[in-house]
Structure 1
Amino acid sequence: MSQFFFAARRPLLALSALALAASAHAQTPTKLDTVVTTATRTPQKLSDVLADMTVLTRDDIERQAFGSLADLLRRQVGFEMIRNGGAGANTSLFVRGADTRHTAVLIDGVRVDSQASSGVSWNAIPLAQIERVEIVRGPASALYGSDAIGGVVQIFTRKGDAKPVVDVGVGGGNRGLAKADVSVRGRTGIVDYALSGARESSNGFNARPAAATATFTPDDDGYSSRNASLRLGVQLAAEHRVEVSALTSHVDAEYDSSATAKTNDRTISDTRANRLAWAAQWSDALRSELSVGESTERYETQPSPYVTKTRVRTYGFNTSLNLGTIGTLQGLLERREDQLDNSGLVSAAQPGHGERHQDAFGAGWAWANGPLSLQLNARHDRDSEFGGTSTGSVAGGYKLGGAWRLQASAGTSFRAPSLYQRFSDSGKASLRPEKGRNAELGLHYASGNDEFSITAYRNLVRDLIVYVSKPTPVAGPCPSLYGCYDNVSEGRLQGLSLRGATALGAVRLSGTLDLQAPKDSDKASANYGKLLARRAKAHGTVRAETDIGAWTLGGQVLASSKRTDNLSTGYQLGGYATMDLDAQYTLSRQVGLQFKVDNAFDRKYETARTYAVSPRQVFIGLRFTPQL
């Protein structure tokens, strides 16, 4: 691993020093006592979690101010973002070097996915509707089934508490950036409620300055978005709660698809997630949850006539039984139904329409005694197209004394081929699920405002599905004249992730550092031994924050080493470092001002060849929270 560090030492030396210093200020004792659910699908304290996990709160979301969830996640350890333009453009996120389709994404427990593009539309998940984000890095198919090869991101929308609250925010900035949001939350008797809505728009910037030719008209590529969420809960009794949640998001973004066309290309993305759940506490030891959820993702391009729509419907029953010194047992029954409407599904039983389902059952056991903790999980998924797949995981933690903790885990994972990969003219009936096998070791320290963590991981992913262009041979029959999807590749995702922060007087410091080597490990591949496309050997962040009177001032540097855009051409994307600045000023308990500058030094770089990133963006906002 040392060669990766020395290759990136110039842009990232400061990150390494800080990450080794101590812990993130966000991980205070209060936050370590936060109850989370994503790591085990049952409630537990963050300090007891045996996975590499991060929780982002509403304060973290408010600090980001504008954009989508991807803009916030790219600043977290393990994440890299690829975007074809501004905040509304197509966006991919790599977690620990895994492809964007290898992260399972849930909104209030509802699975969100695209069976056409293979992965969630990150640009369509709005910040304004989010109360909390829980991130688990590493395979989690033993809990979540298909998709969770690189990790899990679970988003929780805003929720009411005992006191009625109205929250209103307005703001704007350069290049026509404008934003407004309103939220009403509270509780009346046995009913708690939260209703939120937001709009955001920008004139954007020229996303492809390098593509200017005699036949290409450079223009600003703007976007507009509107979104809303509803979360309603009824406490039928002290032991029984029924909850319904709904989210809708619409993004209309301009983009430049070709350097030879004088057209105003647009993408229109619509994401919806709805869920009904009943949680019951039958005794001090026995609890259960029964739920049904549905998500849809619709993607359209104009004037090019392309429309695709994915629907994912899930039914779940989850129960846990606390047996005291014996540990806690968990059981899971789940059904997932995928449906894709896409004109390219030419080999489906009903052309233009594909569907399949997965039935799953799982079991888990968690046990703790003194300094030692253990967790076992196993799951079996039976797919209507591909048959059965079994996954499992084992994790253990040991408190070394004081504030130190050592933990280790191993697990398997998979992702089923998408319906488009299966039924399009480039699809194949013989496609197999992609499968991962991961092992990791972590050391964590937490004391007061100080925390440090280091995690080493190695994830072997085989049967990777890639598009193979002809005349390259494709195993088995391939109906397309141009090429087909095939299981032809293997990947070895390994690396070292560090997080740390401490307080130096009145200044809170935090940092992250990723040293990684996600490589093609298929010996039959022409790219054997090469880093996977658009992955950096080293990337990370440094943040400083302090309070001065009514002001909270902060600044953050995000840096990355160089990456290869395309393994076939070998084109290199240069390394970069950018700085963001933010400030909050409290006028009163009800009124606050916010200032933010992204890419403060107007750094020009690429995350995808010929596509520019956002120039300097300034935002000024006002937040009003009247007392009711």
Structure 2
Amino acid sequence: MRLGDIAAELTVITRDTIERQGFGNVAALLRNVAGLQMTNNGGPGNTTSVFVRGAETRHTVVLIDGVRIDGQSTGGARWENLPVSLIDRVEVLKGPASALYGSDAIGGVVQIFTRQGSGRPQLGLGIGGGNLGQIKADVSLLGGNADFDYAGSLAVDRGTGFNAYGLTTSKNFNPDKDGWRNYNGSLRLGARLAEGQRLELLGLKSRSDVGYDAGKNADDRGITESIAAKLSLKSIWSEVLSTQLSVGQSEENYETRPSAPYLTRTRIRSASLLGFYRINAEHQLNGVLERREDRLVNVDLVAGGAGTRSQNAVGLSYLGTLGALSLQAHGRHDDDSEFGGIDTGSLAAGYRLGGGWRVTASTGNAFRAPTLFHRGSVYGPDTSKGFPELRPERGHNREAGLAWAQGDLDFAITTFRNRVSDLIAFGAAGSCRSTTGCYTNVARAMLKGTSLKGGATLGAVKFSATADFLDPTDANTGRQLQRRAKRFGTLRAETTLRTWTLGANLVGSGERFDDAANKTRLGGYGLLNLDAQLAFAKDWRLQLNVDNAFNRQYQTANFFNQAGRTWFVMLRYAPTL
């Protein structure tokens, strides 16, 4: 099925965009995607949250070549530890998708695809530097033929940083610079075993070591490791039937030291069998069998500092095209070893009106299973005293969209209403072993909004813009959800002048609140980011980036400073060997 036939709201970020705009990590790469907002607790490498249509950061599934990246402490991937040097493209699916991906997909899905080699060997070398003491270097090698292909990369990114924490009266305040060090590598191999049989191996690791404030007289560090591995066999059995058998494992490990030592380790093992049956050119059936096993090691877990659980799932999808009408129906049953079974489903339709116009509509539900920390830590319900177990968080979404495309012009508007119930929140003590507070299913949220995006080419300049009008509300209190703005938008312009490619990007955010009571206001902000690329010789390119060009002071989380004006220069050499 073509991207144009997909009824859900989907954004694809290509390798060209990644290289041209020179982002440092996946979270920064997503800042121009309609419907997404993010917060950062300080500078590069510090804790980052991504809100898809206002949903919590743990409500977004993150997959790297199909391997799920997640943390079983408070939940969600560590966005700040996902580098872009190994990425070929990113696909962002907005809206509930548990009927396809199981637990966690209440807000959406972000799929990251690594680079795959083909053709003659191609070497990639890059080295650069900028202010904040930043030094960055990477090397990659890609190539292959019909029988064997390979792609590998290594990268380092480090800087002295700036003082990320601004509350001078806090006992944790330390006026030192909070620098960062990130190292990552990836390897992807593919081999044709026989006609229609392809074996693929993926391995990647990223490690970051970032400064933060936890004591006045110590260089406190937060250390994160993300590891993923996958082995898959893709089989084409006939013109109408193909399968993919995969086994994978990911790890998310986080540690702080020395002032407030803390360690949490998550391991996710998975196995899946996907089947694709093409009835004819207009109709297709897809099926999935999946098993997932989670393990968490954390000192606050009651059962000896470690917890485990498993989920088994079966799903079926139908994709069809009937002239101008396209249909999608998805259904899935997940069985969890802790809370039992849960069913999810979605139905979507799109219709081409002619003249470049298309309308879409969809409805579906989703869920997020409580993390092992939520249920099994000293902050989880004390079932020995009769308190009930935590229930899965649930989302129910309806949306409609209208899109138009003609030549170099395009426009799309999507309106949605996502009702999220049984949200897990940290509340008063009494139902758990801790005296400081407990996790309970007490919160509800209403996520309503309208998202717009469009593009146009006027002469030699290409424009693109997004605008989000969001109403993220705590359904119990009627207050605005924390750290989410009601108004957010971007505007980008780029052009090519001989051997130069020039770009400018405006980012604007309305005010938000740092607390649930809406007492602590975070002001709105506007940023200008600039980028330029010069192809000055065969296989040579020079990349220049200036972020926050007007040196604006702003915060996305209270007391945490954001970088002022930053500049970066990168030299790249990419010959074909």
C-alpha distance in structure 2 between counterparts of 1:478 and 1:208, whole Å: 32
On the 8 A contact 2:180/2:210 being kept in 1, the answer is yes
Q: How far has the Cα of 1:189 moved from its partner?
A: 5.2
State the secondary structure of the residue aligned to 2:120: coil
State the secondary structure of the residue aligned to 1:323: strand
User: Counterpart in 2 of 1:83?
Assistant: 40
Compared CA separation, residues 253 and 590, structure 1 to 2 (3 A): same
Match of 2:287 among 308, 316, 331: 331
Task: Name the aligned partner's letter for residue 334 of structure 2.
Answer: D
Q: How far has the Cα of 1:577 moved from its partner?
A: 0.2
On the 8 A contact 1:64/1:71 being kept in 2, the answer is no
Compared CA separation, residues 341 and 215, structure 1 to 2 (3 A): closer
Q: How far has the Cα of 1:459 moved from its partner?
A: 0.3
Q: How far has the Cα of 1:250 moved from its partner?
A: 0.3
Task: Name the aligned partner's letter for residue 88 of structure 1.
Answer: G
Greater RCO structure (CA 8 Å; 6+ sep): 1
1:217-616 superposed matches below 5 A:
217-257=174-214, 261-303=216-258, 304-324=260-280, 327-346=283-302, 348=303, 351-428=304-381, 429=383, 430-470=389-429, 477-522=431-476, 528-568=477-517, 570-616=519-565
Q: How far has the Cα of 1:188 moved from its partner?
A: 4.2
Compared CA separation, residues 460 and 216, structure 1 to 2 (3 A): closer
C-alpha distance in structure 2 between counterparts of 1:373 and 1:275, whole Å: 33
Task: Name the aligned partner's letter for residue 326 of structure 2.
Answer: S
1:144 pairs with 2:98:
no
What TM-score do the two structures reach when normalised by structure 2? 0.97
State the secondary structure of the residue aligned to 1:163: strand
Match of 1:130 among 69, 74, 87: 87
On the 8 A contact 1:172/1:178 being kept in 2, the answer is yes
Q: How far has the Cα of 1:402 moved from its partner?
A: 2.2
C-alpha distance in structure 2 between counterparts of 1:384 and 1:215, whole Å: 41
Task: Name the aligned partner's letter for residue 407 of structure 2.
Answer: G
C-alpha distance in structure 2 between counterparts of 1:217 and 1:336, whole Å: 42
Task: Name the aligned partner's letter for residue 361 of structure 1.
Answer: V
On the 8 A contact 1:199/1:227 being kept in 2, the answer is yes
On the 8 A contact 2:37/2:51 being kept in 1, the answer is yes
Q: How far has the Cα of 1:90 moved from its partner?
A: 0.8
C-alpha distance in structure 1 between counterparts of 2:292 and 2:183, whole Å: 28
Task: Name the aligned partner's letter for residue 227 of structure 1.
Answer: N
Q: How far has the Cα of 1:66 moved from its partner?
A: 4.2
C-alpha distance in structure 1 between counterparts of 2:526 and 2:254, whole Å: 33
User: Counterpart in 1 of 2:386?
Assistant: none
Task: Name the aligned partner's letter for residue 463 of structure 1.
Answer: D
C-alpha distance in structure 2 between counterparts of 1:168 and 1:305, whole Å: 38
Aligned pairs, number: 570
C-alpha distance in structure 2 between counterparts of 1:284 and 1:446, whole Å: 33
State the secondary structure of the residue aligned to 2:7: coil
State the secondary structure of the residue aligned to 2:514: strand
Compared CA separation, residues 546 and 127, structure 1 to 2 (3 A): same
Match of 1:158 among 111, 115, 131: 115
Compared CA separation, residues 216 and 140, structure 1 to 2 (3 A): closer
Compared CA separation, residues 213 and 425, structure 1 to 2 (3 A): closer
C-alpha distance in structure 1 between counterparts of 2:181 and 2:23, whole Å: 12
Q: How far has the Cα of 1:262 moved from its partner?
A: 2.5
C-alpha distance in structure 1 between counterparts of 2:21 and 2:264, whole Å: 31
Task: Name the aligned partner's letter for residue 415 of structure 1.
Answer: R
Compared CA separation, residues 214 and 130, structure 1 to 2 (3 A): closer
- Per-residue CA deviations over 1:25-64 (Å, capped at 9, x if unaligned) read xxxxxxxxxxxxxxxxxxx321121110001111111133
1:54-203 superposed matches below 5 A:
54-188=11-145, 190-203=147-160
Q: How far has the Cα of 1:239 moved from its partner?
A: 1.2
User: Counterpart in 1 of 2:570?
Assistant: 621
State the secondary structure of the residue aligned to 1:70: helix
1:47 pairs with 2:4:
yes
Compared CA separation, residues 319 and 399, structure 1 to 2 (3 A): same
Compared CA separation, residues 47 and 237, structure 1 to 2 (3 A): farther
- Per-residue CA deviations over 1:399-432 (Å, capped at 9, x if unaligned) read 0002111111100000000000011100125100
Compared CA separation, residues 215 and 269, structure 1 to 2 (3 A): closer
State the secondary structure of the residue aligned to 1:211: coil
- Per-residue CA deviations over 1:446-485 (Å, capped at 9, x if unaligned) read 2332211100000000000000133xxx6xx322212110
State the secondary structure of the residue aligned to 2:483: coil
On the 8 A contact 1:88/1:124 being kept in 2, the answer is yes
Mark the runs of 5 or more structure 2 residues left unpaired by the alignment.
384-388
User: Counterpart in 2 of 1:31?
Assistant: none
User: Counterpart in 2 of 1:30?
Assistant: none
C-alpha distance in structure 2 between counterparts of 1:459 and 1:343, whole Å: 35
Compared CA separation, residues 326 and 451, structure 1 to 2 (3 A): closer
On the 8 A contact 2:173/2:214 being kept in 1, the answer is no
C-alpha distance in structure 1 between counterparts of 2:77 and 2:243, whole Å: 28
